[in-house]
């Protein structure tokens, strides 16, 4: 098996989480909220300014805004730098992260897959690959807590995500030591323009988030994720029902996670896990679509550019996956230059029907009791961070 480095470069994507309901004239009859407190005569707003539809009349009699939209300036912080991303190795309950099937047990199809991969290909260590990518700066993820109360660093906020760089002087390598400076919250970063929309706002955000004492929560919402597989392509998937939960503390330099000691492998000795959890589900249709797109580039194996090589979908009792038996695959002429998938297409097709039996497809998202999505979860470790005087990299 070739090296499949599943680099979870959280090129995280956008949006969605908001039940950021605008006050409307039907429930809210006051003047427009323009500040952090409501100046009308109704119930006090506990949040930040309301950027929804302006109230049209004189007194506010509506309910409080539950998902305030911050008004403070972008890049004013506070920030967190993600200094470690951990992929669960076994999919055990303790490791990670959330229960998507309402049975009281956390679900992590990704962890199950990683565990299976580890058994099949012990030399492939996705966690080591990920650790190196974070330590050398190829994955540098920064979070801004927009609108978070400056003094208490608690209360409602939004989570804005940036891809960042520590190479402020532009010489091609990070300016500070990862292990001693960045992990300790002394890191200084610039935001990569690739993580910004045309108007300069972050592409990636959880609009509904909160720090309640020492617990950060965000989501649920859609979370587009970019997974670069070197030499192959960049996978774009959207994690649905995405949410974050983290045990955090505020320090002068920003928001830190508190590590968790969890004996995930059951050997009696706890391992150190990041205090943050990020999880959600990926519909299998998305994954099959990506694989079919890859297969369409396999002219070397005799595949037509418009062929539907893998036929998949919900059957009567499971999500079925199989390659079209009418398509002849001869991948012997494919070389490394054709990518991992083309050279292994017959292997992929031989393996495909077994996919539903691995326990990987574990969540039913459309209510017909047939699982159709893969649950995923990652552990995050974060430290405080700051932006450079010029916050956006050239």
Residues forming the site for Ca ion (CB under 5 A): 99, 101, 103, 105, 107, 167, 169, 171, 173, 175, 263, 265, 267, 269, 364, 366, 368, 370, 372
Least distance to Ca ion from the beta carbon of 378, Å?
A: 17
Output the smallest distance, CB 306 to Ca ion, in A. 27
Nearer to Ca ion, 228 or 283 (CB): 283
Nearest-angstrom CA–CA distance, 226 and 322: 26
Name the residue number minimizing CB distance to Ca ion: 101
Q: Quote the least distance from Cβ 179 to Ca ion, whole Å.
A: 16
For residue 87, the minimal CB distance to Ca ion (Å) is 16
User: Between 222 and 364, whose beta carbon lies closer to Ca ion?
Assistant: 364
Closer to Ca ion by Cβ: residue 79 or 319: 319
CB of 254 to Ca ion, least distance (A): 21
Measure the CA–CA gap between 325 and 90, rounded to whole angstroms: 34
In the chain, at which residue ranges do the beta strands (DSSP E only) sit?
A: 79-86, 141-146, 155-165, 187-191, 204-212, 215-229, 233-251, 254-257, 260-262, 271-273, 276-283, 310-314, 319-323, 361-363, 373-383, 385-392
Q: Residues 49, 33: contact at Cβ < 8 Å?
A: yes
Shortest separation between residue 78's beta carbon and Ca ion, angstroms = 24
Nearer to Ca ion, 173 or 390 (CB): 173
Collect all residues with Cβ–Cβ distance below 8 Å to 298 and sequence separation of at least 6. 331, 334, 338, 341, 342, 345
Q: How many other C-beta atoms are found inside a 10 Å radius of the C-beta of residue 367?
A: 6
Rounded CA-CA distance 25/15 in Å is 26
As a 3-state breakdown, the chain gives helix, strand, coil percent values, each rounded to 5, of 20, 30, 50
Nearer to Ca ion, 99 or 297 (CB): 99
Q: Which residues on adjacent β-strands are paired with residue 255?
A: 250
Q: Give me the least distance between CB of 348 and Ca ion, in Å please.
A: 24
Residue 266 or 325 having the CB closest to Ca ion: 266
Name which of 105 and 151 has its Cβ closer to Ca ion: 105
Match 């490791």 to its residue by tokens: 95
Cβ distance to Ca ion smaller for residue 54 or 393: 393
Q: What angle do CA 390, 81, 17 make, to 5 degrees?
A: 100
Question: Least Å distance between CB 342 and Ca ion?
Answer: 31
Smallest separation, CB 221 to Ca ion (Å): 20
User: Do 78 and 70 form a contact (C-beta atoms < 8 A)?
Assistant: no
- Any idea what the Cα angle at residue 377 is, between residues 192 and 69, rounded to 5°? 55
Q: If we measure between CA atoms, which residue out of 139, 200, 127 comes closest to residue 165? A: 139
Q: 316-355: buried (b, 16+ CB within 10 Å) or exposed (e) per residue? A: eeebbbebeeebebebeebeeebbbbbbbbeebbeebeeb
Residue 31 or 90 having the CB closest to Ca ion: 90
Query: Which residues neighbour 103 within 8 Å (Cβ) at sequence distance 6 or greater?
Result: none
């Amino acid at each position: 098996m070739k090296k499949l480095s599943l680099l979870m470069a959280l090129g995280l994507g956008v949006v969605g989480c908001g039940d950021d309901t605008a006050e409307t004239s039907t429930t809210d009859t006051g003047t427009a909220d323009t500040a952090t407190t409501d100046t009308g005569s109704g119930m006090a707003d506990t949040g930040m300014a309301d950027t929804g539809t302006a109230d049209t009349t004189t007194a506010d009699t509506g309910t409080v805004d539950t998902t305030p939209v911050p008004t403070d300036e972008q890049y004013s912080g506070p920030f967190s730098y993600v200094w470690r991303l951990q992929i669960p190795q076994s999919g055990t309950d303790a490791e990670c992260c959330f229960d998507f099937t309402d049975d009281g047990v956390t679900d992590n199809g990704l962890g199950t897959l990683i565990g299976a991969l580890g058994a099949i290909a012990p030399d492939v260590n996705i966690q080591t690959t990920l650790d190196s990518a974070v330590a050398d700066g190829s994955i540098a993820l920064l979070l801004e807590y927009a609108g978070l109360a400056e003094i208490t660093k608690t209360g409602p906020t939004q989570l804005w995500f940036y891809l960042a760089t520590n190479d402020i002087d532009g010489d091609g390598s990070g300016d500070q030591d990862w292990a001693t400076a960045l992990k300790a919250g002394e890191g200084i970063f610039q935001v990569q323009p690739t993580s910004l929309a045309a108007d300069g706002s972050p592409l990636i955000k959880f609009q509904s988030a909160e720090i309640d004492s020492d617990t950060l929560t965000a989501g649920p919402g859609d979370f587009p994720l970019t997974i670069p597989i070197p030499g192959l392509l960049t996978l774009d998937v959207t994690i649905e029902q995405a949410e974050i939960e983290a045990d955090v503390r505020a320090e002068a330099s920003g928001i830190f996670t508190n590590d968790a000691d969890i004996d995930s492998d059951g050997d009696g000795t706890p391992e150190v896990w990041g205090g943050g959890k990020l999880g959600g589900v990926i519909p299998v249709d998305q994954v099959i679509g990506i694989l079919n797109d890859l297969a369409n580039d396999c002219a070397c194996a005799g595949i037509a550019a418009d062929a539907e090589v893998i036929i998949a979908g919900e059957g009567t009792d499971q999500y079925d996956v199989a390659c079209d038996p009418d398509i002849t695959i001869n991948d012997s002429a494919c070389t490394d230059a054709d990518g991992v998938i083309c050279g292994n297409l017959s292997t992929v097709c031989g393996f495909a029907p077994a996919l539903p039996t691995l326990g990987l497809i574990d969540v039913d998202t459309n209510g017909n009791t047939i699982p159709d999505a893969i649950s995923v979860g990652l552990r995050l470790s974060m430290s405080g961070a700051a932006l450079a005087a010029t916050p956006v990299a050239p």
